[in-house]
A and B are shown apart, each in its own frame.
Chain A
């Protein structure tokens, strides 16, 4: 098991290198000069040249990428072109908000989506089933940022119950988390429903019924345990989507997280900030996926034995 975890952690390294290279290349090799953007339209040619020299933009692309990565290995993510401060400091300040938001979003979607899907499968074609399927249908079609605006309109601007911006207190997280959880809840509801429906028709469930096991026991012991695997997979996949979704939701609720940092940096061609933030997000997603794979082992003993074999 430990060997498996270590191997997976090592596999993250090439992915991180690949991601940083792609983002670095996209940012560097497209038109638009960071020095020009920092100094503004009216800057003189000499100033721009000096700034370019200062930022090291005159080097060959591969040299710049290599220099940058050499710094990253030592924990130095470079200085922001925009603020000239170390990128890592800014990321460390902002990362917790984004991560919290993503976790709250995931948590909420699991707490709501999974039971909704399970009950809807057990009581297939009941009113509850129709209700939860309609809800899921609606939630997948609603753009997250619009849902955020609507919630803000009702709960902050009209009713005044919750703050509409910022995350100074925990109440600031409520609306953004609900917003973020919406589409994940929809996919989870649908996935749990179809997963449970699949298991409920299996022979061993019929056998359990024939044995006279109580309905409760059948559902909890036989059905749920076996239908959990795809559900956990979706939760893991959602985490990646959520990290991407925070970009928009942070700007709706003006939360200073990685998402808003990325939007501002990307406009200013602030390469170190963008590459740094994307790398952090990618590592978080990679770790979340690893966590899911470890969870597999606890859910399904067959997978556990596979891990230890390798």
Chain B
């Protein structure tokens, strides 16, 4: 019996040989308890965001005002209490997770895509292109990303799309740097030379041969950038430059709750906990990935 299993395993291994790299990363990730806790926490948030419509009515419970029940503390009926317009805080926090997640994912997607294109061209072609592109990136890097986001959001105007665009642009330079440095370290390796000798086009070399090998640091940066984006969107909304009320967004909920926090502290405590929970989950995953992808920590 045991023999049979072993055999099956061997067969299995040869079968998935192509993905063994990914699998070994996953195995190492799985061993990290904190990272797994983060993953479970994160999956819960995602599930919450996806299933919100099944359990709650957005118009009725997250937007409509019920002034008779305003500013109630947490109770069995409203586990996070109600806000200054009598809306259930928990429902608003749940719907708020959608904005945070969408912003987090989309900003990383924008920053990563454009950053990777810039970084890859700079690193791969080198010389003048590298110099020009990276000097421009250096200038962007010299502006704190928070300031850059503030300026771009204000210039484009409020709204979800502009917010994502602004924060995505603010993330480009870091991704460009990381992609560039990985590409520089890879481009003189033999397998790239072999690909070139076969007459492979540059685009294919970059996409198929270089990027997959440089994925580790990029994934880690993407995870941490997502956490940062969620923090930034909340901060921007808090200072009135992001999502505006009545749309449920954690930062703007905090901003409206601030005026009355002395008497109703739950107005500012609850959305804050939601932010800390989500950001911590993503950070834990990021840390776990960093350790799992670090070749020095193998075995």
Contact = CB atoms under 8 A, between A and B. Distances in A.
A149 B147 contact: no
Given A22-B140, A141-B276, A278-B143, A247 B239 contact: yes
Contacts of B157: 31-32
B121 interface: no
Interface string A225-260: 000000000000000110111011001100000000
B268 A26 contact: no
A38 B235 CA distance: 26
Bin the interface of chain A by size: 35 or more
B279 interface: yes
B36 to A, nearest CB: 15
Nearest to B257: A149
A263 to B, nearest CB: 6
A146 interface: yes
B64 interface: no
Contact of A145 (B135, B235, B284): B235
A15 interface: yes
B204 to A, nearest CB: 34
Interface string A265-300: 011010000100010011001100000000000000
Given A240-B144, A267-B154, A285-B144, A143 B283 contact: no
Contacts of B69: none
Contacts of A157: 261-262
Contacts of A240: 142, 144
A39 interface: no
Interface string A131-166: 000000110111111100110010001000000000
B150 interface: yes
Interface in B53-71: none
A140 B283 contact: yes
B76 interface: no
Bin the interface of chain B by size: 35 or more
A247 B146 contact: yes
B284 A241 contact: no
A267 to B, nearest CB: 6
Contacts of A252: 238
Contacts of A219: none
Q: Which of A23, A32, A146, A281 is most buried by chain B, counting CB atoms within 10 A of its CB?
A: A146
15 contacts: A15-B142, A18-B142, A19-B139, A22-B143, A26-B155, A137-B280, A140-B280, A141-B283, A142-B276, A143-B231, A145-B239, A150-B268, A157-B261, A243-B147, A281-B144
Given A32-B157, A143-B235, A153-B268, 17 more contacts: A18-B136, A19-B139, A137-B280, A141-B277, A143-B234, A145-B235, A149-B258, A245-B144, A247-B150, A248-B235, A263-B241, A267-B154, A269-B154, A281-B143, A282-B142, A282-B143, A285-B144
3 cross-chain pairs, A with B, having the tightest CB-CB distances, nearest first: A244-B144, A244-B146, A18-B139
Interface of B: 135-136, 138-140, 142-147, 150-152, 154-157, 227, 231, 234-235, 238-241, 251, 254, 258, 261-262, 265, 268-269, 272, 275-277, 279-280, 283-284
Interface of A: 14-15, 18-19, 22-23, 26-27, 30-32, 137-138, 140-146, 149-150, 153, 157, 240-241, 243-245, 247-248, 251-252, 262-263, 266-267, 269, 274, 278, 281-282, 285-286
